[in-house]
Amino acid sequence: MVIIPTRKTSIEKKKSKRKPDKMEIIQTGIKDLIIIKPRVFEDERGYFFESYNKNVFHQNGLTMEFVQDNQSLSQKGVLRGLHFQDPPHAQGKLVRVINGAVLDVAVDIRKDSPTFGKSYTIELTEKNKTMFYVPPGFAHGFLTLENNTVFSYKCTQVYHKAAEGCILWNDKDLNIDWGIKDPVMSEKDLQGEKFSSFKSKF
């Protein structure tokens, strides 16, 4: 069966070129891991955009509630991760870059997921203003690509020290291409757990 495309009307052409009203919600190849591209209004004064809109999120099935906002400053070559919090203190994170750029990585640690152990990498920058939602059940980390990078994230759960965990950033089984061999890291992150011995509680 051959499907012949119909010719678009002038009205349809205009609609297809129209930018999303508020935000573009993009599904990745890993379930529940979401890319969000806001509509940015720019002129000679600068720019404006909505970095979060509860109604738009809920209309797209993103009904999580955020309870804590975090922000970090890092110099080029700093790597933080791969972090997570175990249930019942698991965190979802809506992350973005305010200044600079990062290579952002999420690893699926949901043991019954068909993509368990798979990672997704995305570049978040001050220029592209892209946001990334990392839901509970994922380990998360990022590498700063520029000096004075300011990284911001909204969390669905407050920090809980007893529930925090860390998977080794350069684990051979995960095989994440960070593009760096010797990043600047905390001692705690350098002691992250190997994925082969990791027992997921998700």
Quote the pTM value: 0.88
Locate 5 and state its tokens: 């495309």
Average pLDDT, the chain: 91
Residue 4 scores a pLDDT above 60: no
Of 120, 133, 140, 153, which is the active-site residue? 153
pLDDT single digits (tens) 54-103: 999 999 999 999 999 999 999 999 999 999 999 999 999 999 999 999 99
153 catalytic? Reply is yes
Digit-coded pLDDT (tens) for 116-150: 999 999 999 999 999 999 999 999 999 999 999 99
Query: Which residue is catalytic, options 52, 58, 83, 159?
Result: 83
- The order of strands in the sheet holding 68-74 is 23-27, 34-38, 131-134, 93-99, 149-155, 68-74
Structure token pair of residue 62:
């993103």
Which three-class secondary structure state does DSSP give residue 149?
strand
Q: pLDDT category, 21, cuts 50, 70, 90? A: low
58 a catalytic residue: no
Query: Kind and range of the H or E element at 53?
Result: none
The domains found in the chain, sorted by start residue, are 20-41+49-197 (2.60.120.10)
Q: Would you call 13 helix, strand, or coil by DSSP?
A: helix
